[in-house]
Structure 1
Amino acid sequence: MKIELANSYGFCFGVKRAIKIAENAKDAATIGPLIHNNEEINRLKINFNVKTLEGISEITEEKKAIIRTHGITKNDLSKLKNSDIKIIDATCPFVTKPQQICEKMSKEGYDIVIFGDENHPEVKGVKSYADGKVYVVLDESELDNIKLSQKVAVVSQTTRKVEKFMQIVNYLMLKTKEVRVFNTICNATFENQEAVKELAERADIMIIIGGKNSSNTKQLYLISKNFCNDSYLIENESELNEEWFRNKNHCGVSAGASTPDWIIQNVVKKIEDFKN
């Protein structure tokens, strides 16, 4: 059986940057999980004493607070700035961008439409920067009963699919006079999605590696499943099942943007062991 890695996969720029920041910080606490990968968070805890708090309300005697890659709300950031704790900002620059856009455009009188998951920490943070009306949607149909102003600015969660974002943009262009479109989807996300599609079309089994609470990893899995029915989403090699690989000739492997190389290598090694 041939094992092939996607042309683009794994750690993105923002995650690499956040990991390095956390390793250099040591003895610090992140506000929410730094990234959506439990294995890597455990490594940071064991090797660098970087612990995870669910929110700023859990801060007690911590001296250093690391802001997660997904960012935090404007209100929480303000509270941190008014405390004695040292703030270390690991927010991905690609996430900071839509925060700034929402703040600026809402002050200029635009209604804000965010394409994304309202319950995702990145979207919660981005939404908090809008001063006026702001709507979070996953589908253009959700805008049907919303009375928008004639000036709308639209941004996207960084890990969403470009095609769906374009559908929402097209809908808004027909519904309102002025639409300002800001493509805030991360290039790494787009490249990983294109690469998994290309590989899934050729493979007869696909293994997608990443946190099951990771938005970009779930998107990779869904794309893969569209083109290769035998697609599996796993967090580490312990979840692999040898039965999956029986009578398979071509195994494709991809990984989410929060998945470290050491986990990917462990998965590939175990698949290779199945072959022997």
Structure 2
Amino acid sequence: MAKKIILADSAGVCFGVEKAVSTAEEKLVQEQNVFSYGPLIHNPQTIEKLENKGLKVLDKIENKKGTIIIRAHGITIDDQKTLESNDSNIVDMTCPIVKKLQFAVKSLYENGFHVLIVGDHKHPEIIGAKSYAKDDITIIRDLNQLDQLPKERRKIGVVAQTTIPVEDFWKVVEKLKKIEQIELKIIDTLCDDIHNKQIEAVEIAKDVDIMLVIGGKNSSNTKEITKMCKDINSETHQIETFDQISDLNINFKDKVVGISAGASTPPWLIKKTIDNLMMV
């Protein structure tokens, strides 16, 4: 059994995820035909529970009789218009912070700025957000890709994927500030909740023997927390469920174990992980 378990205060679901899940649960009680366009959140266990209650996940837009819930990561502007033109009742559960990113991209584009997003171009959040700037946009992962920015553009607007490390965003901004020939507009679209998770997890990782980060394998923010902790503590491991503890082949006896969790990880998964740790 572990000697001590330190659980991050910030571990687990953010307000956007909590609202999306609770809204889906309410709709499933009230109605028979409830759908989500894409996975509602990036946690397979929560999605499975919702599917068991009747939620049907759509991977393409269909004209369904009933309610279609827009996922927390948001969708493209064209998909939004298509959904709103059909016969379904649309419930938009896009996270408010993601909405802020979408509105920022739209505003920058409409004001003549070339939009630069610091983030993962494959992430659903970015796929949705970039649609608000049509083709007048560049997406980079970090400072090392800044040379992809079109040299001829003189008005640059910078935003961030909501869940990336704060440092990745501001390193790009500081570099751009040194270019005298451009007009720079910066809109901070980072999520404070995710930032707090990252900071607290890293601080815990410094002081423990083993660090566990709980969250879906498809969760970008969980993977980012894991990476940041692993840079500090090589004995950092991401697990999706409590069952995977045994797969790690780690002797937890007399060890101090730290635990954090991504923004889509439900409380019951965290509790079961702690319960399992008390028995190994």
Q: Which residue type is aligned with residue 101 of structure 2?
A: P
Aligned partner of 1:10 in structure 2 is: 12
1:77 corresponds to which of 70, 77, 80: 80
Q: State the SS of the aligned residue for 1:128.
A: helix
Task: Give the stretch that moved more between structures: 234-243 or 36-45.
Answer: 234-243
Alignment of 1:99 onto 2:102 = yes
2:6–2:256: 8 Å Cα contact kept in structure 1?
Answer: yes
1:72–1:121: 8 Å Cα contact kept in structure 2?
Answer: yes
Q: State the SS of the aligned residue for 1:84.
A: coil
For 2:151 and 2:124, locate their aligned partners in 1 and report how far apart those are by CA, in whole Å: 26
Alignment of 1:153 onto 2:153 = no
Aligned partner of 1:259 in structure 2 is: 265
Structure 1 residue ranges (4+ consecutive) displaced by more than 4 angstroms after TM superposition: none
Deviations 1:121-143 (A, max 9, x none): 00000000114510110022323
Q: State the SS of the aligned residue for 2:41.
A: coil
Deviations 1:89-136 (A, max 9, x none): 000000000101111111110000001111100000000011451011
For 1:148 and 1:39, locate their aligned partners in 2 and report how far apart those are by CA, in whole Å: 47
Task: Give the stretch that moved more between structures: 260-269 or 248-257.
Answer: 248-257
For the aligned residues, what is the CA RMSD? 1.4
Structure 1 length normalisation: TM-score? 0.94
Please show how residues 123-272 of structure 1 align to structure 2 within 5 Å: 123-131=126-134, 133-145=136-148, 146-175=150-179, 176-241=181-246, 243-272=249-278
Q: State the SS of the aligned residue for 1:135.
A: strand
Q: Which residue type is aligned with residue 26 of structure 2?
A: N
Q: State the SS of the aligned residue for 2:133.
A: coil
2:11–2:261: 8 Å Cα contact kept in structure 1?
Answer: yes
For 2:152 and 2:45, locate their aligned partners in 1 and report how far apart those are by CA, in whole Å: 43
How many aligned residue pairs are there? 271
Higher relative contact order (CA 8 A, sep 6+): 2
CA shift, 1:246, in A, is 4.0
Unpaired runs of at least 5, structure 1: none
Aligned partner of 1:66 in structure 2 is: 69
Q: State the SS of the aligned residue for 1:245.
A: coil
Alignment of 1:41 onto 2:47 = yes
CA shift, 1:81, in A, is 1.2
Q: Which residue type is aligned with residue 177 of structure 2?
A: M
Q: Which residue type is aligned with residue 132 of structure 2?
A: Y
CA shift, 1:60, in A, is 5.3
For 2:254 and 2:260, locate their aligned partners in 1 and report how far apart those are by CA, in whole Å: 17
2:64–2:87: 8 Å Cα contact kept in structure 1?
Answer: no
Percentage identity across paired residues of the two chains:
37
2:63–2:88: 8 Å Cα contact kept in structure 1?
Answer: no
CA, structure 1 residues 235+224, in 2 after alignment: closer, same or farther (shift >3 Å)?
same
CA shift, 1:196, in A, is 0.3
Deviations 1:129-184 (A, max 9, x none): 11451011002232314325211111101100000101111122223521111111
For 1:149 and 1:60, locate their aligned partners in 2 and report how far apart those are by CA, in whole Å: 41
